Amino acid sequence: MLMSQLYSPTLRETPSEAEIISHKLMLRAGLMRRSAAGMYAFLPLGLRVIRKVEQIIREEMNAIDGQEVLMPIIQPAELWEESGRWKDYGDEMFRLKDRQGRQFCLGPTHEEIVTALVRSEVRSYRQLPLRLYQIQNKYRDERRPRFGLMRGREFIMKDMYSFDRDHETLDQSYWAAYHAYKRIFERCGLEAHPVEADSGAIGGDVTHEFMVLAESGEDLVLFCEACEYAANAERAEGVRVPVQEGEKTAFEPLETVATPGASTIDQISAFLGVEPKDCIKTLIYLADGKPIAALVRGDHELNEIKLKKFLQCVELELADDETIFKVTKARTGFAGPVGLSIPCYADYAIEHIANAVVGANKDDHHTLNVNLDRDFQVTAFTDLKETQPGDPCPRCSGTLQGARGVEVGQVFKLGTKYSDAMSATFLNEDGKETPLVMGCYGIGVGRTVAAVIEKNYDEDGIIWPLSIAPYQVVVVPVSMKDEAQASAAQSLYEELQAEGIEVVLDDRDERPGVKFKDADLIGFPIRVTIGAKSLEQGQMEIIWRRTKEKQSLPIEAIVPTIKNFLRDGDQI
RNA sequence: CGGGGCGUGGCGCAGUUUGGCUAGCGCGCCUGCCUUGGGAGCAGGAGGCCGGAGGUUCAAAUCCUCUCGCCCCGACCA
């Protein structure tokens, strides 16, 4: 490719729309442009990178007997009604109607379609296991698209679906995908950590997310410093510490005091001069419309995913002021567990608090010296708090540490959630009709590219790993006006092409600085510079983008050196 | 969805508070000269109904109303 013809408009300055490094560099290097919030057009260089990642994914999916298919983006509402997700998906789903008024959506994911596809064709256990995957655009009307490819409303995703006869073979599919994912990210030059995760709206029980640690990550990942445990913070388990004999003594008498206007833990602890950890936060929720109370320690945050899961409810939301008044006889901010008549669920940590400060269920009042059993009872204790760095590991005696992570992939065991709902069954060896046991496995292709940049850049631009670089080599003659340089560059370019090496010739009549800056910004792993002086000595210069290391070599050594380098793989 | 901010040539911005004459600057772009190992220099030039609609006014980028788009924080989310 000739640089003079390449449609890759580079920018000296960063467009104001970009905040994080990968987004800035993808715009500056001319890889993509925004067309609407959360939607991007890929330009030639950007597309080449995307295609390379896709190709790696294909190879690894095929290696575990995945078969590639391509399913429609536009999906009929009926299928989603069958699974019950037409309602559940809510505003995040792009919906549309055809001329007859029939309802469709732009697929946010493809469980329904693939289940429908398989149920009509798979009849026998002999056809299993079946692993189908596609690389396809997905559409989610995110409330807040951001950070370029990190969270788009249109994005490219590889999704595989496995169909098995039982949970044992699902297990094999699951771990096959898990290990394929490790290889995929490794080949893309990424260190992606599998962590235990929540399955969210997709459903299912066992699931891992593959996380690339980066400051710009939207998730908090917790790692045990001592053992292998790693989990998304929203999923990380809390630990129930047994109450020690004699831990809680000297119960003081109850006392209700005026706390005018102090409705948050911060205000109360400041007003009364107590520690937040000696307060109990009482949150009133509506679980499928019914009010319940949830208690967490004052310095803890409640994890709604855990509460929702524990209650097994479909909808969970913080109660409105009116409901709170009805339940507590007080304004929001003064609720407490004493005398409440609704079910009351408490985090494990509540067991340990003696002489707690709680809302008095009376406007502008709090109650001091509240104690479990003596003053209030709970319906159940469970794990409700948002786990934080510094908390104990649920698996060993270690301590959890936190890091930001970008979720580049996730693997789920779905079980029979969709096959049950959509009657996707097969006949087993006993001739019995049995639901297919499913798994699903996603990789965000664009997000993976963004994550690679987040981990591979310097002040001059992107540093592509060889495996996904848009081109491997750029040939830069210092001056195109110099006949000798121009023709030497041209012949090297042709020679590299003949060797099947992906190469760009910067044939522009620009000053060398401009070409060097663009080469660094775009991030070609290898640059060959051809200058007048070295050329007279029969030499050219190879520069490795990652290390900025330079090497002057005889002209005839250039191609073999590059070939060796490419063959030896991905160490740059 | 709540809070905040921004829309002025391709990109980055000034001008808006206190309305006033041909709307500026840097980068990029075009032409010519010159230059060629890290985003050169000189000269000349093209390009903007100031996001859109309505209103106030002798006069609106600037004031008012509505509207659209984009970004950030939060809530939420495979």
Q: Give the pLDDT confidence of A131-186 residue by residue, as tens digits.
A: 999 999 999 999 889 999 999 999 999 999 999 999 999 999 999 999 999 999 99
Q: Flag whether A248 is in a domain.
A: no
- Residue whose C-alpha is closest to residue A43's, from A6, A89, A82: A6
Q: Residues A278, A356: one domain?
A: yes
Residues A510 and A477 sit within 8 Å (Cβ to Cβ) = no
Judgement on whether residues A448 and A475 belong to the same structural domain of the protein: no
Within-domain flag for A172: yes
Nucleotide nearest A15, from its CA to each C1': B11
Shared-domain flag, residues A276 and A423: no
What is the Cα–Cα distance from A353 to A337, expressed in whole angstroms?
A: 13
Domain count, chain A: 3
How far is it, in rounded angstroms, from Cα A212 to Cα A372? 43
- Residue A542 inside a domain? The answer is yes
Question: What positions of strand B are covered by protein, i.e. any atom < 7 Å from a CB?
Answer: 1-2, 6, 11-13, 26-28, 35-40, 69-78
Neighbours of A485 (CB within 10 A): 21
pLDDT higher than threshold 80 for residue A225? yes
Between residue 373 and residue 392 of chain A, the positions with Cβ below 7 Å from nucleic chain B are none
| A243 in contact with nucleic chain B (CB within 7 A) | no
The answer on A228 and A116 residing in a single domain is yes
**Whole-number distance in Å between A362 CA and B62 C1':** 53
Q: Which tens digit of pLDDT belongs to each residue from A5-53?
A: 999 999 999 999 999 999 999 999 999 999 999 999 999 999 999 999 9
Instruction: Classify residue A461: in a domain, yes or no.
Output: no
User: Which tokens go with A363?
Assistant: 């406007």
Beta bridge partners of A232: A221
Q: What is the CATH number of the domain that holds A435?
A: 3.30.930.10
Do residues A317 and A285 lie in contact, with contact meaning Cβ atoms separated by under 8 Å? Answer: yes
CA of A511 to C1' of B31 (A): 19
Which band of pLDDT confidence, cut at 50, 70 and 90, is reported for residue A56?
Answer: very high
Residues A293, A344: contact at Cβ < 8 Å? yes
Q: Is residue A548 part of a domain?
A: yes
Radius of gyration of chain A measured on its C-alpha atoms: 30
Residue A275: the pLDDT is: 87
Single-letter code of the amino acid located at A351: E
- Position A44 scores a pLDDT of 96
What residues have CB less than 8 Å from A103, skipping those under 6 apart? Answer: A76, A77, A95, A96, A97
Q: Are residues A485 and A418 in the same domain?
A: no
Q: Which two tokens stand for residue A260?
A: 């005018």
**pLDDT mean over A108-134:** 95
Residues 88-107 of chain A within 7 A of strand B, judged by CB, are: 92
Residue A322 and residue A332: Cα distance in Å, rounded? 9
What's the CATH number where A335 sits?
3.90.960.10
Provide the 3-class DSSP secondary structure of residue A151. strand
Residue nearest to nucleotide B35 (CA to C1'): A511
Q: Which residues lie below 8 Å from residue A511, measured CB to CB, with a gap of 6+?
A: none
Percent of chain A with pLDDT over 90: 72
pTM, to two decimals: 0.92
**A53 and A193: one domain?**
yes
Q: Check whether residue A13 has its CB closer than 7 Å to nucleic acid strand B.
A: yes
Q: Can you tell me the mean pLDDT for A196-219?
A: 82
The DSSP code sequence of A39-66 is EEEEPHHHHHHHHHHHHHHHHHHHHTT-
**Do A549 and A416 share a structural domain?**
no
CA of A182 to C1' of B29 (A): 47
Residue (of A112, A415, A410, A440) closest to A234 by Cα position: A410
pLDDT over 70 at A427, yes or no: yes
Q: Which nucleotide is nearest to A302 (CA to C1')?
A: B75
- Within 7 Å: CB of A14 and strand B? yes
Q: How confident is the model at residue A571 (pLDDT cuts 50, 70, 90)?
A: low
The pLDDT of residue A91 is above 90: no
Distance, in Å, from the CA atom of A91 to the CA atom of A5, rounded to the nearest integer, reads: 43
User: Over the stretch A295-312, which tens digit does the pLDDT of each residue have?
Assistant: 999 888 888 888 888 888
Domain range for A496: 471-567
A545 touches strand B (CB under 7 A): no
d(CA A217, CA A467): 23
A232 and A277 in a single domain? The answer is no
For residue A496, being part of any structural domain is answered with: yes
A172 and A284 in a single domain? The answer is: no
CATH code of the domain containing A523: 3.40.50.800
pLDDT at A201 over 60: no
Same domain, A345 and A268: yes
Co-location of A323 and A428 in the same domain: no
The per-residue pLDDT for A208 is 92
CA–CA gap between residue A318 and residue A113 (Å, rounded):
34
Please classify residue A440 by burial: count the beta carbons closer than 10 Å to its beta carbon, then call 0-12 exposed, 13-18 middle and 19+ buried.
Answer: buried
Q: Look at residues A163, A216, A172 and name the one whose alpha carbon lies nearest to residue A408.
A: A216
Q: Which two tokens stand for residue A9?
A: 């408009």
Q: Looking at residue A326, what is its pLDDT?
A: 86
Three state DSSP letters for A507-531: CCCCCHHHHHHHHHHHCCCEEEEEC
Q: Does one domain contain both A335 and A439? A: no
A11 touches strand B (CB under 7 A): yes
CA distance A37 to A141: 10
pLDDT digits (tens, 9 = 90+) for A459-486: 999 999 999 999 999 999 999 999 999 9
Question: A87 pLDDT band (50/70/90 cuts)?
Answer: confident
